[in-house]
Amino acid sequence: MTVVNRMIAGLGLGVTMTLGGFAGTAIAQEDTIKVGILHSLSGTMAISETTLKDTMLFLIEQQNAKGGVLGKQLEPVVVDIASDWPLAAELARQLIEVDNVDVVFGCWTSVCRKSVLPVFEELNSLLFYPVQYEGEESQRNVFYTGASPNQQAIPAVDYLMNDEGVERWVLAGTDYVYPQTTNKILEQYLLDKGVAAEDIMINYTPFGHSDWQTIVSDIVTFGSAGKKTAVVSTINGDANVPFYRELGNQGVAAEDIPVVAFSVGEEELSGFDTTPLVGHLAAWNYFMSVDTPENEEFIAAWQDFIGSTDRVTNDPMEAHMIGFNLWVKAVEAAGSTESDAVIDSIVGLETPNLTGGVATMLPNHHITKPVLIGEIQDDGQFFVVWETEDLVPGDAWSDFLPESKMLEADWTAPINCGNYNTETKTCGGAPAAQ
């Protein structure tokens, strides 16, 4: 019964999705504000990004029920970038030039963001990017509502070092820009903290890697040097299930070698039986299990919108919610949806997040976030075992890399620069890094 229902619901969803896309391009009304949604609805990233598209539709519906923005209704324009990054740049251009959207919410991977960046710069539009990323970037037209490394990776390593007494580190990641940069920052951070180079093992695997036997066995061997060992995982979504399965099968228990992941959330865990993973960790700025009235309300409204109490919420969804609310506030403060006006008015605005704190848009276009460390439970949820006392402001340029530690981003007058060099007092990055 339930299977059949789900099938029907799924078919329905597919049809409405397509219709939504067509309706968006066909009707051009002057009395609406158009919001572009630029996510992959097919291809490898569909697994993560489809939910974000639904989140945006949900947020827009809620806002319209409250009377919209500036007295106008919001109109979503959905496009499918099909996990194809050149296509993402084309569709971003189409959204801005043809569909005349005033703001775009979208992208998941760093490569997607990097490929649409020039378009937003050229056409002076706005992009809200909701996923944790590697930092080392700040662009005037982009707002980074996910975590930068100092809001996720560094606190997680601190937790393992101080609370779990970890002395030996495996940095395992998928072979692309986010893990590479994050691991570069982490390696430097660990070396600065006095960890010996031979106590750090770095390992990269291709996208969708499914045979983890050798690597897990290497990790076990690496962990048998008599020092407490932990794995810091920047392994990307699809490869995680086989990785954790192999860990479970080879008997790597969280009590012995804990794995802390930066890309594994409730959505990814909903795909498998988490019993063998209990105790492994993840670092995020939001967990579905966080017990606050705001969160409870958000989950209830989301599940009501999507029509299933099985659907989970996760960190990038919260980031989209924060980004959306900040944009609404900025538009209302500026009295206009015009990009320059919004960029000027959004810095310093605040909106409550779902964990009982406040997200503030900083001059570097990042936001303040709490950092939470959660242990995986057998129901696929996380139990928060540690959190920062204060909100952590996002840092665009890492202070731990020699080539970026003197850089700051500040999009307010008089600096107005994404890579301001505090040593030479000039805009334009570090000469050494070129």
Shortest distance in whole angstroms from residue 303 CB to other proteins: 15
| Token couple for 409 | 């981003």
Matching residue, tokens 């897990």:
216
103: β partners = 35
Q: Which is nearer to other proteins, 256 or 332 (CB)?
A: 256
148 binds other proteins (CB under 8 A): no
| Token couple for 12 | 């329905």
| Token couple for 115 | 């490929």
177 binds other proteins (CB under 8 A): no
Cα 286–333–122 angle (5° rounding)?
80
CA–CA separation, 148 and 141 (whole Å): 17
426 binds other proteins (CB under 8 A): no
Shortest distance in whole angstroms from residue 228 CB to other proteins: 9
Q: Are 168 and 199 in contact (CB under 8 A)?
A: yes
CA–CA separation, 232 and 172 (whole Å): 6
Q: Interface with other proteins by CB under 8 A: which range of 209-217, 361-369, 388-396, 410-418?
A: 209-217
6 binds other proteins (CB under 8 A): yes
Binding mask 15-54 for other proteins (x = CB under 8 A): --------------------------xxxx-xx--xx---
Q: How many CB atoms lie within 10 A of CB 165?
A: 10
Alpha helices in 225-338 (DSSP H): 237-249, 266-269, 293-306, 315-334
Which position among 3, 27, 197, 432 is part of the footprint of other proteins (CB under 8 A)?
3
Shortest distance in whole angstroms from residue 354 CB to other proteins: 20
Q: Which helix (H) or strand (E) holds 63?
A: helix 46-65
Name residues whose C-beta falls within 8 Å of residue 28's C-beta, 6 or more positions apart in sequence.
100
Q: Which helix (H) or strand (E) holds 53?
A: helix 46-65
Matching residue, tokens 């969804």:
317
Which position among 5, 100, 162, 249 is part of the footprint of other proteins (CB under 8 A)?
249
155 binds other proteins (CB under 8 A): no
Q: Which is nearer to other proteins, 246 or 410 (CB)?
A: 246
| Token couple for 268 | 């990814």
Which position among 76, 130, 149, 276 is part of the footprint of other proteins (CB under 8 A)?
276
265 binds other proteins (CB under 8 A): no
Q: Interface with other proteins by CB under 8 A: which range of 90-98, 202-210, 313-321, 412-420?
A: 202-210
Residues at the interface with other proteins (CB under 8 A): 2-3, 6-7, 10-11, 13-14, 41-44, 46-47, 50-51, 163-164, 175, 203-206, 208-211, 213-215, 217-218, 220, 223-227, 238, 241-242, 245-246, 248-251, 254-256, 258, 267-268, 270-273, 276, 278-279, 375, 377-378, 383, 385
